[in-house]
């Protein structure tokens, strides 16, 4: 065998032995990369879940106040006119007290689903702020800001079948709304919610109705943030509780 042939054979053998010797290392590295990829994917999934949970209501899965604020802020930065409606269920406390909190929760989920669909059909979004209080953000181009909100209230008032410990019941939910309009130039979400809240107080004087905020409107000093509508203090509430036991 010539010297060149011997050198070639030696190189070939060395290359082969080298590949054989590093194969376990390569396999180990590949396995570690796979494990790392899985961990990264798991961490990424956990972060997405945490981000979703931070921005959504646990009971209804609607966006929460934080998400609604972000959405409004984006619209304000783009100078998009926006209708902000604060929607509050009528006599929700009575439903809870009569049928139990699990029925109240089912009603909230039903209302949330209806609100979400109605808002999306109008290129808007719905959010649950707290308790039985929801917000809807819609495009503000329509000169009659109250019209789409009135339509949404009609949808919410459709009968709902709920399951109690004693069987199914049919309730006839109603909701009232306060409306504030952002013209695309001035105002933040808290300001618009405050205006809508004042309008909602006025709307609660006649259940199932809506009012649009006007500068002369005021919240009574003794009403508090959620005054009579949150604690059933309005005289009409007390009258209905006496005559309407068994209906929600």
Does 132 participate in catalysis according to the annotation? yes
- The two tokens of residue 111 are 């209302």
Other CB atoms within a 10 A radius of the CB of residue 222 amount to: 8
Q: For 209, how many CA atoms within 13 A lie in the half-sphere containing its CB?
A: 10
Catalytic option among 88, 90, 132, 237: 132
Residue the block writes with tokens 């059909």? 121
Residue closest to 96 by CA, chosen among 120, 69, 132: 132
Contact 144, 83 (CB under 8 A): no
- Rounded to whole angstroms, the Cα distance separating 23 from 14 reads 14
Measure the CA angle with vertex 148, ends 146 and 154; round to 5°. Answer: 100
SS3 category, 233: coil
Residues with catalytic roles: 132
């Amino acid at each position: 065998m010539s010297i060149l042939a011997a050198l070639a054979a030696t190189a070939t053998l060395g290359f082969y032995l080298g590949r054989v010797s590093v194969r376990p290392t390569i396999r180990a590295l590949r396995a570690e990369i796979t494990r790392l990829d899985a961990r990264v994917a798991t961490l990424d999934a956990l972060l997405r879940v945490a981000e979703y949970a931070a921005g959504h209501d646990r009971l209804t899965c609607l966006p929460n106040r934080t998400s609604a604020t972000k959405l409004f802020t984006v619209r304000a930065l783009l100078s998009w006119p926006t209708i902000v409606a604060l929607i509050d269920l009528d006599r929700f406390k009575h439903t809870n007290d009569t049928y139990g909190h699990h029925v109240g929760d089912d009603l909230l989920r039903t209302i949330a689903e209806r609100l979400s669909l109605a808002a999306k059909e109008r290129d808007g979004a719905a959010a649950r702020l707290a308790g039985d209080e929801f917000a809807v953000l819609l495009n503000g181009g329509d000169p009659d800001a109250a019209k789409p909100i009135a339509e949404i209230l009609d949808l919410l008032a459709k009968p709902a079948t709920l399951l109690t410990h004693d069987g199914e019941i049919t309730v006839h939910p109603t909701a009232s709304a306060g409306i504030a309009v952002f013209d695309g130039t001035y105002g933040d979400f808290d300001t618009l919610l405050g205006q809508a809240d004042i309008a909602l107080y006025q709307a609660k004087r006649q259940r199932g109705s809506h009012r649009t905020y006007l500068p002369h409107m005021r919240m009574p000093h003794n009403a508090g943030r959620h005054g009579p509508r949150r604690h059933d203090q309005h005289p009409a509430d007390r009258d209905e509780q006496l005559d309407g036991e068994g209906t929600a």
